[in-house]
Amino acid sequence: MAGGEHPVMGPSLYALLGLPSTATPQELRQAFRALSKRYHPDTTTLPVAEAQDQFRRLQEAYLVLGDPQRRSTYDSQLRLALIQRIGALNGPAAPEAPSPVISGPAPARRPLPVRRAFSGGEWFALVLLALALLFSLVLGLGLAWWRGVELVTQPLVRSQTIGPIERQTGVPLERLPGDEFLAPPPDASVQPPAAGA
């Protein structure tokens, strides 16, 4: 891993010293000495505040990278940050479980579903849809009331009059109002229409 920008901490300590992450302790020491001469407030031409800030950062970098245990911890943090950055660029990935060696093509992995919060435009569209539904309901009920349509009606009760079917079968049937228009007149004969008529 080469020294570069650390997403949280800014430039990596390796980048401050101008070295790769594979630098030896001897190379770290030489780089620190050369840069400390350049940034020491007593020997630099930079403004005092900038020189002090650069020299302080240089010392912190050398303190961390000069100690093997601190350097190992720092390298682990850099690797983790790099993995997170790559994961963010590639999208979320599930940790893979070790699988037995199987000959043949590897099974295709299904992408994980991504759950995200609604954007402002999506919320606005949902509110507009709800308002349109409510307006339609109020408009429909208002028009029905204005025309005098009953919104709630009582169930119809069938009358107990005896019709021609009941006379033939002896089984009483209930009739609805308006059934007299559906039944043939009592004097009409019940025969199928003639063919070709």
CA 122 to chain centre: 12
DSSP letter string, 78-121 = HHHHHHHHHHHHH---PPPPP----SSPPPPPPPPP---PPPHH
- Cα–Cα–Cα angle for 170, 174, 176, nearest 5°? 140
Q: What is the pLDDT of residue 174?
A: 59
Q: In terms of C-beta density within 10 A (0-12 exposed, 13-18 middle, 19 or more buried), how is residue 13 classed?
A: buried
The pLDDT tens digits of the residues spanning 154-195 come to 765 554 455 555 556 655 555 556 666 666 666 656 566 666
Residue labelled with tokens 């300590």:
13
The pLDDT tens digits of the residues spanning 112-137 come to 666 777 888 999 999 999 999 999 99
Rounded to whole angstroms, the Cα distance separating 30 from 17 reads 10
The pLDDT tens digits of the residues spanning 46-74 come to 888 888 888 888 888 888 888 889 888 98
State residue 42 phi and psi, 5-degree precision: -85, -20
- How many Cα neighbours within 13 Å face the side chain of 142? 6
Q: What is the pLDDT of residue 139?
A: 94
Q: Give pTM, 2 decimals.
A: 0.40
Check if the beta carbon of residue 160 is closer than 8 Å to that of residue 174.
Answer: yes
Check if the beta carbon of residue 60 is closer than 8 Å to that of residue 74.
Answer: no
Percent of the chain scoring above 70 in pLDDT: 61
Neighbour tally for 3: CB within 10 Å = 19
State residue 57 phi and psi, 5-degree precision: -65, -40
C-alpha distance from residue 139 to each of 42, 127, 134, 156 (Å): 84, 18, 9, 28
pLDDT at 11 over 90: no
1 pLDDT band (50/70/90 cuts)?
very low
Residue labelled with tokens 């303190």:
63
